[in-house]
Amino acid sequence: MTENTTKGRPLDDELTRRVLAAVRSQLEEHGFVNLNIEKIAMAVRCGKTTIYRRWPSKPELVAAAIVDGLDLGEMPDTGDVVEDLVEHAWQNLENFRRSKDDAKNNGLLLAMFNMEVIPIISESFMKVRHAMGREILSRGVDRGQISGDLDHDLIIDALAGFTLFRITLKPDVKRSDDAAIRDTYRSLVCSLVGRSQTPGR
């Protein structure tokens, strides 16, 4: 869908893609502090005002470039709240994996956690993912699979925090295959929702 600027001029999808790709490239090379809007404009052959009309500040531009590489994912519905939460957590894992694969160094990942950028990413992406997790838990309560007294926010935050820790701070997890990682998620989810893990799963 074509975006409209505040003055009514369309910013076509192709230009948007080129701008955001150039931002990611500059973040990798120079980091957030040294990101230069003029150089980005020159790289994609547009004026700085074209960029600023769409993204009024550098943090908004950087957040848009980061979110552009993320996937909200589908709402899982396996029929079981534990498996749904495992799938939900797995989508977070895949997003982190893509971010790390796309990064030539730590510039992109560091920008993701910049104090000016993260509230924007939270508003446009993380809150949506969090709401999906809450819906999974609410559905589990309605189905009688888990207690209605659980702290849904705490469960979703714990899963997201576990993913972040494992990907960024615990490199030995790379030696685990996907099946083992899924089993770890399943054990964590069962502990968080007060369910016994099904033997053989």
Q: For 112-126, what is each residue's pLDDT tens digit? A: 889 999 999 999 999
What is the count of structural domains for the chain?
Answer: 2
Q: Are 54 and 16 contacting, i.e. CB atoms less than 8 angstroms apart?
A: yes
Q: Are residues 52 and 140 in the same domain?
A: no
Determine the residue type at 15: L
Q: Are 136 and 74 contacting, i.e. CB atoms less than 8 angstroms apart?
A: no
pTM over 0.85, yes/no:
no
Q: What is the pLDDT of residue 139?
A: 97
Structural domain contains residue 182 = yes
Structural domain contains residue 139 = yes
First to last CA, the chain: 42
CA distance 134 to 96: 21
Tens of pLDDT, residues 24-66: 999 988 899 999 999 999 999 999 999 999 999 999 999 999 9
Query: What are the angstrom distances between the C-alpha of 115 and each of 2, 32, 51, 62, 109?
Result: 30, 11, 22, 12, 13
Structural domain contains residue 64 = no
Structural domain contains residue 70 = no
Q: Are residues 22 and 119 in the same domain?
A: no
> Which runs of E-coded beta strand occur in the chain?
3-4, 10-11
* All residues at 6 or more sequence positions from 65 whose CB lies less than 8 Å from its CB, including other chains: 20, 21, 23, 24, 27
Q: Are residues 54 and 140 in the same domain?
A: no
